[in-house]
Amino acid sequence: MPYQRAIKTSATRGLDLLNFCIAGEQTGFGPFVAVYLAARHWTQVEIGFALSLGTITAMVSQIPAGVLVDALRGKRKAAAAGTLAIGVCALLLAVWPAPLPVLTAQVLHGFASCVLTPGIAAVSLELVGHAALGERAGRNARFAALGNGLAAGAMGLLGSYVSEQAVFLLTAVLCVPALATLPFIDAKPQPPTRRAAIGGAGRAELVALLSDRRLLVFAACAVLFHLADAAMLPIAAGELTKRVGVHANLTIAACILAPQAVVALLSPWVGRTAARLGRRPLLLLGWASLPLRGVLLAVLPNPFLLVAVQALSGVSGAVFGVMVPVIADDVTLGTRRFNLCIGICGLAAFTGGALSTTLAGWLADAAGDPVAFLGLAVAGLVGTALVWLAMPETRAIEAVE
Amino acid sequence: MRVSRVSLIVSLLLLTAAAPEMPFGSTAPELPPTVELQTFAPREAMPVLGQRVVEPDGKAVARLVDVLVDPDGRPVAAVLDFGGFMGVGIRKIAVHWSTLRFEPGEGTYRIILTLAPDEIKAAPEYRDPNKPAPVVMPTTPEHRPDPQ
């Protein structure tokens, strides 16, 4: 029988709010940083450097940060440190947009994000245990999507009607409720089975993880997922600005918010279904929606249908968001490498995303946006084929705990 | 003759004395640096990088993010960031310098784009500073900036 834990409602609600606030905090970072720095009279070259520095830090930090979170005893402390660091970054950007503080914030944000993602997953796993992680991951993704969507809306309004600076002040403020939730998320001591394997055989365990076919195939699938996914929204949004005109920002906002609504609706179902039917059907659903979206974006005549098609990205987004922690837990069950595994998936996702914008930008430049969308669809198709042909089912036959 | 020899020795001494501070062999004794100055009031010169660009009716439409100049340093085109939400969906378009009208002033300076929205829609994106830049030129006389 799966081990059912008694979890306090306050802990469940606390974790909901933590996911909500942190996703909100992360919304201000990303492409908006470029807008903000341009408004602060930064040159294009300086902005490019600052953004690249953040990306490179986030990329090289994924695995070390995962190892670090694995090694820490208190996962909540890792989550707290990450949350606080992101609040500090936002404050630095808001009040002191000079080169040194901004570059420091970019580096700190890159590293802190890499601690925070596995940190939240680890806190969740500690709270609910292996058997219920699917459902919890679904809930996490739902509240993260709500936080992201609402923050994007609020920050868009703040940026347009108040000031770009206000966006980062809101980001910094969001760190306060996020920190306040942590004392409520008190996990019970872990059941003994999970602790049994901890201790010796660290190196053998590491070698076993790094040569685990399930992880390697999933990481390759994650690269292809983000290779297909990452550039679709920017190119589609650029297309909207071109076709609808310079006041297309509301339509673009809809392209950003609609997928978050879909993720919020769908994620809990993804989590439950992964527990009931296994991981593979959902992986296929999530990955297969990528080539479909790519082809639709390539052939779509009406820019307003873009919003409907972009909403499809909520399907793949919900699947990816829920399946990363679930599969990482499947692969590392009984070991202490859960966060390393999440770091590896994060690195795979980042690599795919970086390649996506470069390759799609090059394709769009050389042959036009439809060809770029088709190229991204091909990457999604290859990813789907890889899931179909090579990705094993990772769900244990009966829950181990 | 004698005077010039003395002055030569003095200047040599000065040179050696100054050498640690001035490794590039400046012979001048330390004088406070002077500079030719002219003051421009805010209504005579304005900053442009990072400024919002508005349509003639005052609606913010873009942000000026770069300036392209010719070999003499004269501005040829401005690179403008159009559209987007939270940084997503921005199109960079280079417009000819003469399509912009500048209204400097005390705290309220403005950059006005005189191109029609449809001309912006039709413009190709400015992507790579190392490639020939597509620059939108003023087409119809009514969009030409007022001759000053």
**Residues of chain B where predicted confidence (pLDDT) is lower than 70:** 1-29, 140-148
Which among A161, A244, A246 is the top mutation candidate for probing chain B, defined by the most B β-carbons within 10 Å of its own β-carbon? A246
Residues B88, B25 share a domain: no
Amino acid identity, position A150: L
Task: Give the nearest chain A residue to B55 (CA atoms).
Answer: A246
Q: Evaluate whether residue B133 is within a structural domain.
A: yes
How high is the ipTM of this complex? Answer: 0.81
Find the residue in A nearest to B53 (Cα): A39
Residue B45 lies in a domain: no
**Residues 41 to 70 of B: which have CB under 8 A from any A CB?**
47, 49-50, 61-63, 65-66
Residues B20 and B61 in one domain: no
Q: Are residues B87 and B133 in the same domain?
A: yes
Rounded CA-CA distance A286/A327 in Å is: 14
C-alpha distance from residue A351 to each of A225, A253, A348, A358, A400 (Å)? 10, 26, 5, 11, 33
Domain assignment of residue B87, yes or no: yes
B86 plus B121 within the same structural domain: yes
- Domain shared by B32 and B57, yes or no: no
- What tokens does A105 get? 């914030």
Q: Give the A-side interface with B, CB within 8 Å.
A: 27, 30-35, 38-44, 152, 155-156, 159, 233-234, 236-238, 240-243, 245-250, 252-253, 255-256, 361, 365
Q: Would the CB atoms of B61 and A246 count as touching at under 8 Å?
A: yes
Residues B63 and B108 in one domain: yes
B47 inside domain: no
Chain A partners within 8 Å of B66 (Cβ)? 43-44
Distance (Å, whole) CA B113 – CA B96: 10
Which residues are within 8 A (CB) of A70 and not within 5 positions of it... i.e. 6 or more apart?
A: A336, A337, A338, A339, A340
State the Cα–Cα distance between residues B48 and B44, nearest whole angstrom.
13
Nearest to A249 among B63, B65, B83 (CB): B83
* Residue A247: closest C-alpha in chain B: B83
Interface test with A, best of B64, B86, B91, B113 (most A CBs within 10 A): B86
Q: Which two tokens stand for residue A27?
A: 């919304």
A–B CB contacts, 8 A cutoff, strictly below: 98
Q: Looking at the complex, does the CB of residue B40 fall below 8 Å from at least one CB of chain A?
A: no
Please provide residue B26's backbone torsions phi and psi, each rounded to the nearest 5 degrees: -70, 135
* Nearest residue of chain A to residue B121 (CA atoms): A242
- Residue A38 CA to residue A378 CA, distance in Å, equals 35
Q: Which residue of A has its CA nearest to B90?
A: A238
What pLDDT shows up at residue B9? 53
* Same domain, yes or no: B95 and B30: no
Sheet with B91-96, strands from edge to edge, namely B100-103, B110-113, B52-54, B60-69, B75-82, B91-96, B135-136
In a domain, B44, yes or no: no
Nearest 5°: phi and psi at B67? -125, 130
The confidence score (pLDDT) of residue A169 equals 94
Residue B44's pLDDT is what? Answer: 85
Q: Which of A31, A44, A241 sits opposite B86 (nearest CB)?
A: A31
Closest Cα in chain B, distance from residue A38 (Å):
5
Both B77 and B137 in one domain: the answer is yes
B124 touches chain A (CB under 8 A): no
- The answer to whether B42 and B105 have CB atoms below 8 angstroms apart is yes
Q: Does residue B114 fall inside a structural domain?
A: yes
Rounded Cα distance between A325 and A218, Å, is 12
- Domains of chain A, CATH where assigned: 7-183 (1.20.1250.20), 201-390 (1.20.1250.20)
Residue of B53, B88, B111 to mutate, testing the A interface (most A Cβ within 10 Å of its Cβ): B88
Give me the tens of pLDDT residue by residue for chain A, a chain 401 residues long: 445 567 788 888 999 999 999 999 999 898 899 999 999 999 999 999 999 999 999 999 999 999 999 888 888 989 999 999 999 999 999 999 999 999 999 999 999 999 999 999 999 998 898 888 989 999 999 999 999 999 999 999 998 888 889 999 999 999 999 999 988 888 765 554 444 444 455 778 888 888 888 999 999 999 999 999 999 999 988 888 888 876 678 888 998 999 999 999 999 999 999 988 989 999 999 999 999 999 999 998 677 788 889 899 999 999 999 999 999 999 888 888 999 999 999 999 999 999 999 999 899 888 888 999 999 999 999 999 999 998 888 887 654 44
Both tokens assigned to A42: 């930064």
CATH number for B102: 2.30.30.240
Out of B49, B81, B128, the one facing A43 most closely (by C-beta) is: B49
Residues of chain A neighbouring B90 (CB-CB closer than 8 A): 31, 35, 238, 241
* Pick among A157, A242, A307, A357 to test the B interface (most B CBs inside 10 A): A242
Residues B66 and B132 in one domain: yes
Q: Which residue in chain B is spatially nearest to A41 when comparing CA positions?
A: B50
Does residue B20 fall inside a structural domain? yes
The domain total for chain B is: 2
Q: Which of B49, B86, B91 lies nearest to residue A155, judging by beta carbons?
A: B86
Q: Domain containing B33: what range? A: 1-37
Confidence at residue B11, expressed as pLDDT on a 0 to 100 scale:
55
Contact call for A249 and B89, based on CB within 8 A: yes
Shared-domain flag, residues B78 and B122: yes
Question: Does residue B72 lie within any of the structural domains?
Answer: yes
How far A169 CA lies from chain B's nearest CA (Å)?
15
Chain B contact probe: residue of A164, A241, A249, A363 with most B CBs at under 10 A: A241
Q: Is B126 helix (H, G, I), strand (E, B) or coil?
A: coil
B19 CB contacts (<8 Å, ≥6 apart)? B25
pTM to 2 decimal places: 0.84
Phi and psi for A396 in degrees, rounded to 5?
-65, 150
Model pLDDT, residue B80: 94
Decide if A243 and B87 are in contact by the 8 Å CB cutoff. no
B125–A40 C-beta distance less than 8 A: no
Whether B60 and B130 share a structural domain: yes
B29, two tokens? 């004794």
Question: B13 and B61, same structural domain?
Answer: no
Give the pLDDT confidence score for residue B140 in this predicted structure.
62
Closest CB to B50 among A38, A242, A256 = A38
Inter-residue contact A261 to A314 (CB < 8 Å): yes
Cross-chain Cβ contact B66/A44 below 8 Å: yes
